[in-house]
Structure 1
Amino acid sequence: MHVKIFFCTLLLTLGLSTSDEFTYNGFKGVNLSLDGLAGITSDGLLRLTNATKHAMGHAFFPSPMRFKKSQADNVLSFSTTFVFAIFPEYQMLGSAGFTFVLSPSKELAKASADNYLLGIVNMTNNGNASNHILAVEFDTWKSPEAEDINNNHVGIDINSVISNYSKPAGFTSDDDGKFQNLTLFSGELMQAWIEFNGRNMQLNVTLAPLGKPKPKIALLSPTINLSSIILDHMYVGFSGAGGSTYSYYYILGWSFQMDVRAPELNLSSLPSLPQNLISSSSEEKQKTLLPWLPLSLFLVLLTIAGATLVVVRKKKFSEIHDDWELEFESNRFPYKQLHKATRGFKDKCLLGIGGFGRVYRGVLPGPKVEVAVKRVAHESKKAVREFVAEIVSLGKLRHRNLVQLLGYCRRKGELLLVYEYMPNGSLDKFLFSETKQTLDWSLRIQIIKGVASGLQYLHEGWDEVVIHRDIKASNVLLDGDMNGRIGDFGLARLYDQGAAPQTSNVVGTLGFLAPELARTCNVTTSSDVFAFGVFLLEVACGRRAIEPNKQESEQVLVDWVFANWKVGTIHETKDLRLGEDYVLEELDLVLKLGLFCSHPSPSARPSMRQITQFLNGDASFPEMLPYEFRAGGVS
C-alpha cells in the first residue's frame, strides 16, 4: 500500500475524505458556488448578505452530494456543523434570516428575498412538492405569512417557508436540564449541528454558543421520511436574505459528511469577525436602550438600585466552593480578581479562541503580573473534582519549555485556568500568517529543540507520564525571547473524563492523529511522537498539516514530504520564505526526523529522548527506513 493510499484510508476512518466530505476552517481560497450578495471576505469569512435591502445571497458546495444509492433507496445519513454570527441593521430588530439548505439545484435566482421567503422559494412555488428542498432556518423575523412562532427561532422547512417544526433559539444545558435562550441576531458566535440518521429517519438540529460542547439534547429532533423530498443527488449550502431591513450573515467554518458525523471544526483556526461590526453592535445596544427608558421607570430603578447593588455584585462574582477543594485553596484565584484583571473579559482583552475555550490577557494587581486566562466550559460534574486535582498537580510541572499553569477558578459550568502570559503568541501565527514577520532558521531550530525538550519532560521527567495529545504549531507559544513553550497540556483529559465510558473520544487535530488511534483510541507517548513529527514538518515547510486547497498530491503534508524524499527532492519542501538562510544539515535532519516520527508503525518511531539526542548531535541519525517497510511491507 502506498503512503498516499494509507493516509487516504486514515482520513476516511477519521471523517475526512475528498468525495462526500469537506471541512473549511475559514474560506480563504475555497471554491464555492456563490451568487447574489454572497462573497468571501479577505479574512476568509463567508458573508451571505451585506447592507443591501430586499436582496439575497447563496453559497453552495460546487458539486452535488449523493444522498441515495438508488432512486428506490432511503436517504443516507448525513451530518454538518458550522459556526455563524448575525449582525442586524438595528440591534433590537432582526431581518429575514438565513438557512442551511439542500436543493436539487444551486441556481436559486428565482427565489425571493422578501422578509419571509428566505431566498429559497418565491410566492408562486412556495409549498410545491416539486421543489425538493429541505432547509433549516435561523429566522430573526416574525412573519405572519410564514406562521412564525417568534422573531428568534430555528425551524425545519420542507418545500416551503412555513416550518414543519420550529422552536425558539436556544439549548438545553447538560448540567441542570434547563433551557437557555440564545438571541440569533446578537452578533455572538454560535455553532449549529444538523444530523440526519437514515436508519431511524431522525433529523436532529442542535445549537450552542461557540466554545460550548455540543448539548446532548437536540433543539429539534423530529422523525421525517425524506425519501420523497431528497433526490439521489443534491447540493448543500446556505441561503441568506434581507427584506425591509438588512443583516450581515457570516459563516466562519463549515464541515459536512455523508454517512457519519461531520468532522469537528478547528475553532482556533477560524477567521475573526470584522471589528467594526463588533464595536458598532456594542454601540448600537447603548443607543437603542437608553432613549426608550421612561422617566418614571428610571426613578423606580434609581430608588431600588441601592438595595439591589449588593445582591447583583454578589451574584456577578459568585463562585462554586465544595469541601473537597480546601486542599487546593492555595491554587485558586478569586473570580473577582480575574474579572478585574481582564477588565470584565472584554473583547479587547481577547487573545484568541481555541478548541477548549476563549483566552484573555489579564494583569493581576500588586506586582502587575501578566497572565492568560482560559475560560473552559464544562458541564460534567463527575469530572470536575478529578480534573481540578489533575490541573493542580500539573501546575507543579516546572520546565523552561512548558507554559506555567498558575492556578484555577471555578464557577457553575465553567473552569478558568490561569497561565503565564506569552507576549509573542502562538507559533502558527508566524508560520502561516502573511502579515507576521518570517522566522529565520536559527529561531526555528531553537523552537524545535525547546519543544522536544519540553515534550521529553512530559513523557519522562516527572512522577507520572503526561501525554499531551495535541502537539501542533498553534499549541506552541512564544515567550519574550522567542523560546517555544508547550501549552494546553492536560486539557484534553477534561473532555475524556466527561465522555460516556462506552464512547470513543479521540482528542486531537486531523493531520496530527497517529493512524493507530483510528483502531484503538488508546493514546500513548508514541502517538505524541507522531504529532511531533508532523509539527517538525510544519516548522520546516511553513505549511499546515492538511491543506485541502492544494493539488491532491500535496494536500497531506506528510505524504508530500515523503513523496519528495523518495525521489531525492526532500529539500525542495522547505519554506520558500527562508530563501537561502538555513543550515542544510539541520534542515535535512528536521525533515527526515519528521518522517521518522510520523512512521505508520508505533514501534518504529523513536522516543522523545532519542529525538532530543538527534537534534542536539548527541546521537547519529539512523539511515532512513526503506520505502517498502515504511509503507507497511507492501510496495
Structure 2
Amino acid sequence: MSTKLAVIIISLLVKLAISGDTSFIYNGFQSANLALDGIAEITSNGLLELTNGTKQQKGHAFYPNPVVFKTSSNSNFSSFSTSFVFAIRSEYPTLSGHGIAFVITPTRGLPFSLPSQYLGLFNETNNGNDTNRVFAVELDTIMSSEFGDINDNHAGIDINGLKSVKSEPAGYYSDGGFQNLSLISGYEMKVWVEYDGTKKQIDVTLAPINVEKPETPLLSLTRDLSPYLNSTMYVGFSSSTGSVLTSHYILGWSFRVNGKEQELVISKLPKLPRLGEKEEPKIFTIGLPMISVSLFFLVILTVLHVMKRKKKFAELVEDWELDYGPHRFKYKDLYFSTKGFREKELLGTGGFGRVYKGIMPISKLEVAVKRVSHESRQGMKEFVAEIVSIGRLRHRNLVPLLGYCRRKGELLLVYDYMPNGSLDKYLYNNPRVTLSWNQRFRIIKGVASALFYLHEEWDQVVIHRDIKASNVLLDAELNGRLGDFGLARLYDHGTDPQTTHVVGTLGYLAPEHTRTGRATTSSDVYAFGAFLLEVACGRRPIEQGENGGEILVDFVYCCWKRGDILEAKDVNLGADYRADEVELVLKLGLFCSHSDPVIRPKMRQVLHYLQRDMPMPDLSLLCLSSSGLTFGHREELDDFVPMSYPSTERDFSHASSVAESLLSGGR
C-alpha cells in the first residue's frame, strides 16, 4: 500500500469517526481524558474542580474531541441531550463567587475570556457579538445589572453573550408547585439540557440530586440554533470566581447527539468535601513534620485573621444606645448584606451619603443602607434618639426607616428597599418610562396623605424638611412613598420647633425658612407645592436655560394669568389625562407656593382638595401675584445660590445638606 493511499484511508477513518453520533458518560472523572485550562483540575477522588477557592480566576473543561452537530452547512443543527451534577461551595453561606456554565463553542477553550461576571466565556469587547458562535446555559450566583440579570440565583440560556435570551430563578416544579433552590447551598444538584432539532426547542431542567427529573422544565425556549453555531463544535464547562472565595465542582457528566443521554449512576459519583471543609491539601502527603509546621502557621494566621476581622467589624456602641434594642443593626450584617458595600450594589450618591442595596443574611429582607459621615459628635445622642423615634412611623406612603448602626467615623441608616427607585427618574430628561396621569395623581395623593400623618396624626409633629420628587420612592406597584428622614425634625404638638439651620434643596425652600432658618409644617407645605408642580409639569423647580435660571412656579403662574394653566402640563402626558385633575394640581401647587405662610393651606385641607371633599378657593381671591410667589423676589434666589445642593439622577435619597448641618445641635 502506498503512503499516499494510507494517508487517504486514515483521513477517511477520522472523518467517519467524528461524523457519528457522539455519546459519552463520566460517572466521576478519575480517568477521564478532558482538555483542562485555567485553574481547572481533577481531584484525587475524581471531582472535576473548575475553580479552587481563589479570587478572580477562571477554569474550563472540554470533551477533547470535536462534536459534529450538522452534516453540512445547510442542514439543521442536530438534537442533543446532556445532564450533569454540580455543586458550588463558598467561604460564606450567603455570598458566592460567580457561577457555572455548560457551553458549546467553536474552539476548545476560551483564551480571551475574563473571570468574575464574564463567567470565563466572554470579555468586555466581544460580549454579545454574533461572531462568537457560542451557546451556553448559565447557573449564575451574582446579579450583574449590565447583563440584565433577574437576580443573584438564576439559570439562563445565553447565545453569543451574557444577556440571557431567557432566564428564571433557580428551582424546580413538583406536585407541590414551584420549589426554590439555592445554587450556593453547597449541595449536589442535577441539570438536564435538551435541544430538539425538529421542534427547535431548548429545555433546561434543574433539581436536587435525589429528586427524579421534573416533568416541567425550568426554562423552555423555541429557537433554531442552526444560524448561530458551526457544524463542528466543542462541548464543556466554564466557571469563574470574583472577590469571594468559591469552589465550583462537576461530579458527573453524560452527553449524546441525536438521542437521549445515558443516565448517570449517582452511587458511582465522587463525594464532595464535607460542608465547611475543603479537600485535604496535597502538602499533607509529604510527611508529619511538614503538617506540624503548617498547623503552627495556620494557628498564627487564624489568630491574626480573627483579630483583623474583629477590628474590621468593630462598632461604636455607648451605654445610652442599649435602650434602643431592635433599632440597632450589627455592622457585620449590613456589610454582608451589601456584599461588602460593593460598587455594583450602589444605588446612588447624595449630598452626604452613599446608598447601597442589601439583602439581610437571615431574614432575606431587601434593604437600602445609607452610609453617612459623622465626624462631628455634637448632638449625636439627640440625633439617634430622633432616628429611633422616626423608626416607629407607620404609614403606607412612607418608606420605613428600619434602624441604624454606628461604626468609627460613619453612621449607617437602614431603610426598606423600594424596587422602582425615585420618582424623579420618571419625570426628567426624556425618561424611558413615562408615568400616566392616573399614576401621577395616585402618587400625589399618597404623598399628601403621608404628610398629613406626619404633621397631625402621629404622636409628635414631624417636619420632613426635604420634600421633592427625588425623595419620593416607588414600590413594586408604583405607589409613592415619602422617604429620606435624614433632615426630619420632631417636636411635641402645641410647641414651636427650634431649628436654626437652613437645610433642604433650593427650589423647595420656603422664603421665611431662608430668612429665619426656622422650619415649620407650613414650610413643608411650600415644598409640597413645588413637588406638585414638578410632577404635573415634568420639570424641576429651577432649570438652567439660555437666559439663566428658569423658575417653574413663575412659568405656571404666567400660564394661569393668560387663562390657560393647562399649557404648563407635561407634554409627555399626551392626550391621556383628566383636565380637571391636572388643573386642580397646578392651582394647588400655586396655592401652596404662596410667599405668606399664613395663607398656605394645611395638609388636612390639601388632602380634602385632592379628594374633592372641599372646593378649591379662587386663586384670584388669594391676592396671588408674581410678588406673592417666592421666586418673584429674584434677590432671594441670588443670595441663596451658594446654599444649593442639586440632586443627582442616581441618588436614592438625594439629601442635600452636609453632615455638620445634619448632626449639629441646631437640628
Task: Report the TM-score, using the length of structure 1 for normalisation.
Answer: 0.50
Which protein shows a greater Rg? 2
Task: Report the TM-score, using the length of structure 2 for normalisation.
Answer: 0.48
